[in-house]
A and B are shown apart, each in its own frame.
Chain A
Amino acid sequence: MDTGSLIFILSVAIQSSTAVLFATIGEIFTERSGVLNLGVEGMMLMGALSGFAATYYSHSLFLGVLASMVVGGILALIQGFFTITLRANQVVCGLALAILGIGLSSFLGRPIIGRVAERCVAFPVPVLQEIPLAGPVFFNQNLFIYFSYLLVPCGWLFLYHTRPGLSLRSVGENPTAADTAGIPVIRIRYLWTIFGGSLAGLGGAYLSLSYTPGWKENMTSGQGWIAIAMVIFALWNPLRAVLGSLFFGGINALQFFFEARQFTFIPSYILRMLPYLFTIAILVITTHSKSARRRASAPASLGLPFQREENS
């Protein structure tokens, strides 16, 4: 394979993985606080819609991004309210939100299907992009992707090397112990749930403002669900999340590559199935792997409501 093709594949892999990466990182933080948010798909879609709509009407990309994060956060707030304060079943709430998000976005998005708005284009970094191979792959991308380059290491550092990160992890592992130590469990859960939703919204905005510009019904095609699976593969570690999303992006990139070169030995419908089958495969491997289980497992209080034994 020539370098041109390799660069193409790698570069597209990064582009295809970014939406999932944002959503995965967001969900990692949410789940680290002990809250399971299955509504990510709905939040991504609403984020995509509101991001695009805001940009279309205001002609400002910045407002679009902002809108997507706000909308994602609001939806997550709903999830938070029902699961944290009302202590309802987290699985059902998340699914309901996803369904709500899917339906609402297709309902509200009717008027702007097919419209065109500003889009976020690639922004080559002056010196770095000259580096052979790595340059065009990493440094000829758009702002969303550059942001993700910052987000991941910052996320990792935050989680493992700061006090708020320690507090977050404790809330997810043993909220009663954290509560006794004076950590505001409820506040932290709300905060990180909203954060997760905002990032999911951002992931959606990436899709509608950059990757496949415009709005189309159901444009995430399940990437929200894939993100949730990726969180498990990532073992709730932001660094590993990059690995998972890149794998996913890589499969997508290969798909494009084959179609572009018209390799027909793999029929297109199988190519389209591959990302999902692949996600299932890594889920199986992760769940089954003994070493993974020993290294890290789900935050112990994931999915369980928190209640102080006696309300003060």
Chain B
Amino acid sequence: MKGITKRFPGVLANDRIDLEIQPGKVHALLGENGAGKTTLMNILSGRYRPDDGEILVDHQRVRFHSPKDALQVGIGMVHQHFMLIPNQTVAENITLGMESPRFILRREKIEQDVERLSKAHGLSIDPRAYIYDLSLGQQQRVEILKLLYRNVEVLILDEPTAVLTPSEIEELSKTLKDLARSGKTILFITHKLEEVMEIADEITILRKGRVIAQTKTEEVESRRELARLMVGREVVLRVEKEPVIPGTTVLELRDCSGYGDRGHQAFQHITFAVRRGEILSIVGVAGNGQTELVEAIMGLRPLSSGQIILFGKPLQESTSLNMGEVGYIPEDRLGMGSIPSLTLVDNLILTSYPSFHRRGVFQREAAARKTEALLSRFHVVAPGIHATARQLSGGNLQKLILARELSKNPRLLIAEQPTHGLDIGATEEVWLELLKQRETAGILLVSGDLREVLSLSDRVGVIFRGRLMDILSVEDEDWISDIGPMMAGVKQERTR
């Protein structure tokens, strides 16, 4: 790729990028969120068109008008959000969009072909299985098979390990290396340094739309070096944390179990307690029951058994959760956490609006004043209090939600993936606010980001397939090495 430039309104996503990729190698594209990696790969896979620059395959200039063109040249992409149809089978998904057979769908033949292909590459999957029955790791295998079925030579994977357990990551790394050895070219996008060192042969680092460095893995000295290149300054991998003496228990779960949307057991026998003054993290790969667990605590999902004790009182289905005392920062910022089409004022009073309505009538001035105060205190950049939430950037929106919840001075704060998708600057701001809040509240942090969890927590609980593997505390020295296996379901024998 030469001189690739891509502009979106207001943002220069790719700035004259040159990229050279060798066949038979695993090439990592490393960079922070928003560095332009996905955009670049979308151009390469035919989904986007560059404003400037050209793509050469085998020294021949090519132009893609759609992903189909790229596939014809042998380039295919596995996206972060899988492009699969949940209520169709593996075979149907794989054969979707192919030219032959033209009209009649020969199910059996396709299934046989898929089975053969999957065995050949060591990606075992049942072609008759429905996608919604498969785990995310298995679904990823289907995505890869889709590309192999079409004889793709260059496979691009976008953040492939985001949804995998550590053991699945190992399997994937083996698969990718095998594919490379058999002559395929692998390109994968990531922001995780460890994976790059583990899997890739070559690394290209992007920052703010530009290529910062291109190097071979063997020549890299340290992770710190990579991190510095990625971010551009010394990255503080730990945050200053003052010790706080824990106080009363604010939240307690006793042997709680609950079902998920598909009728499966989402979490079982969960027991833990959060005390004021501490941050308890629940860490795990997405999809292991954390979301359902938080919904149960927030009263949005019933428990099948067990008890939740909030501020000393059991949470019945009928008690309306006192919103003033519990702060909740949901994972889904735009979906549940805010109302994109309403004003900032309307958004800021979302979880405390009864206090702005006296006898049913809205107190305009009070709400406006509060909004202005909060926006300035939390450094939220916005065109004014009557702008719509949609107009805010991701980081500012998260700060808005944080402002909303923290201004209630809650005794319990539940934060789900609070820095997901935020850049380093916003992440640090959020972390500092959370740490500050620790002094007056108990915080339950649910995250898949180990770095975040390790930096902020006092205690860490690992969740896997709906069970709490163990709860470790900061004092424990072995904890870092234990957490990884636990996230994959392996519990170590520990000597105390």
Asked if chains A and B are in direct contact (CB within 8 A), the reply is yes
Asked if B88 lies at the interface with its beta carbon under 8 angstroms from chain A, I say: yes
8 Å CB contacts to B: which residues of A158-212?
A: 161-167, 169-170, 173-174, 176-178, 180-183
Minimum Cβ distance to chain A for residue B259 (Å): 14
Give the residues in chain B near A181, CB-CB below 8 Å: 67, 83, 96-97
> Total interface residues on A, using CB and 8 Å?
23
Instruction: Using C-beta atoms within 8 Å of the partner chain, give the interface range for chain B.
Output: 20 to 34
Minimum Cβ distance to chain A for residue B482 (Å): 38
Minimum Cβ distance to chain A for residue B286 (Å): 20
Closest to B70 in A: A182
Known: A178-B97, A182-B67. A163 touches B105 (CB 8 A): yes
Known: A170-B96, A183-B96. A163 touches B103 (CB 8 A): yes
Minimum Cβ distance to chain A for residue B72 (Å): 10
Q: Mostly helix, strand, loop or mixed at chain A's interface?
A: helix
| Contact indicator B48/A310 (Cβ below 8 Å) | yes
| Contact indicator A178/B103 (Cβ below 8 Å) | no
- Residue interface bits B418-454, CB-to-A below 8 A is 1, else 0: 0000000000000000000000000000000000000
Partner of A162, one of B42, B82, B103: B103
- Residue interface bits A246-275, CB-to-B below 8 A is 1, else 0: 000000000000000000000000000000
Closest to B82 in A: A177
Asked if A312 lies at the interface with its beta carbon under 8 angstroms from chain B, I say: yes
| Contact indicator A312/B96 (Cβ below 8 Å) | no
| Contact indicator B105/A162 (Cβ below 8 Å) | yes
Q: Mostly helix, strand, loop or mixed at chain B's interface?
A: loop
Give the residues in chain A near B85, CB-CB below 8 Å: 169-170, 173-174, 177-178
8 Å CB contacts to A: which residues of B78-97?
A: 79, 82-88, 92, 95-97
- Residue interface bits B88-120, CB-to-A below 8 A is 1, else 0: 100010011100011111010000000000000
Give the residues in chain A near B42, CB-CB below 8 Å: 310
| Contact indicator A312/B104 (Cβ below 8 Å) | no
Asked if B68 lies at the interface with its beta carbon under 8 angstroms from chain A, I say: yes
Give the residues in chain B near A166, CB-CB below 8 Å: 88, 92, 95-96, 105
Closest to B97 in A: A181
Known: A181-B97, A182-B67, A183-B97. A174 touches B83 (CB 8 A): yes
| Contact indicator A163/B102 (Cβ below 8 Å) | yes
8 Å CB contacts to A: which residues of B260-289?
A: none
Give the residues in chain A near B67, CB-CB below 8 Å: 180-182
Minimum Cβ distance to chain A for residue B67 (Å): 5
- Residue interface bits B34-72, CB-to-A below 8 A is 1, else 0: 000000001000011100000000000000011110010
Known: A174-B83, A181-B96, A312-B66. A163 touches B101 (CB 8 A): yes
| Contact indicator A161/B48 (Cβ below 8 Å) | no
Minimum Cβ distance to chain B for residue A32 (Å): 12
A300 and B84 alpha carbons, distance in the complex (Å)? 12
Known: A161-B104, A163-B105, A167-B97. A177 touches B84 (CB 8 A): yes
| Contact indicator A312/B103 (Cβ below 8 Å) | no
Minimum Cβ distance to chain A for residue B142 (Å): 11
| Contact indicator B48/A312 (Cβ below 8 Å) | yes
Partner of A176, one of B8, B83, B103: B83
A174 and B71 alpha carbons, distance in the complex (Å)? 20
Give the residues in chain A near B82, CB-CB below 8 Å: 177
Partner of B103, one of A164, A174, A182, A300: A164
- Which of A162, A164, A170 has the most CB atoms of chain B within a 10 A radius of its CB? A170
Closest to B68 in A: A182
Minimum Cβ distance to chain A for residue B197 (Å): 31
A166 and B96 alpha carbons, distance in the complex (Å)? 7
Minimum Cβ distance to chain B for residue A295 (Å): 10
Minimum Cβ distance to chain B for residue A304 (Å): 14
Give the residues in chain A near B97, CB-CB below 8 Å: 167, 178, 181-183
A164 and B104 alpha carbons, distance in the complex (Å)? 9
Minimum Cβ distance to chain A for residue B84 (Å): 6
A182 and B67 alpha carbons, distance in the complex (Å)? 7
Minimum Cβ distance to chain A for residue B11 (Å): 12
- Residue interface bits A285-312, CB-to-B below 8 A is 1, else 0: 0000000000010001000000001101
Closest to A172 in B: B85
Give the residues in chain A near B83, CB-CB below 8 Å: 174, 176-177, 180-181
A180 and B96 alpha carbons, distance in the complex (Å)? 10
Minimum Cβ distance to chain A for residue B240 (Å): 40
Minimum Cβ distance to chain A for residue B127 (Å): 14
Minimum Cβ distance to chain B for residue A301 (Å): 10
Minimum Cβ distance to chain A for residue B392 (Å): 20
Closest to B107 in A: A161
Chain B contact residues, CB within 8 Å of chain A:
8, 42, 47-49, 65-68, 71, 79, 82-88, 92, 95-97, 101-105, 107
11 contacts between A and B (CB under 8 A): A163-B101, A163-B104, A166-B92, A166-B95, A173-B87, A177-B85, A178-B96, A180-B83, A182-B71, A182-B97, A296-B87
**Given A161-B105, A166-B92, A177-B82, 4 further pairs, Cβ under 8 A:** A178-B85, A178-B97, A181-B97, A183-B97
Closest 5 CB pairs of A and B: A181-B97, A177-B83, A182-B68, A182-B97, A180-B83
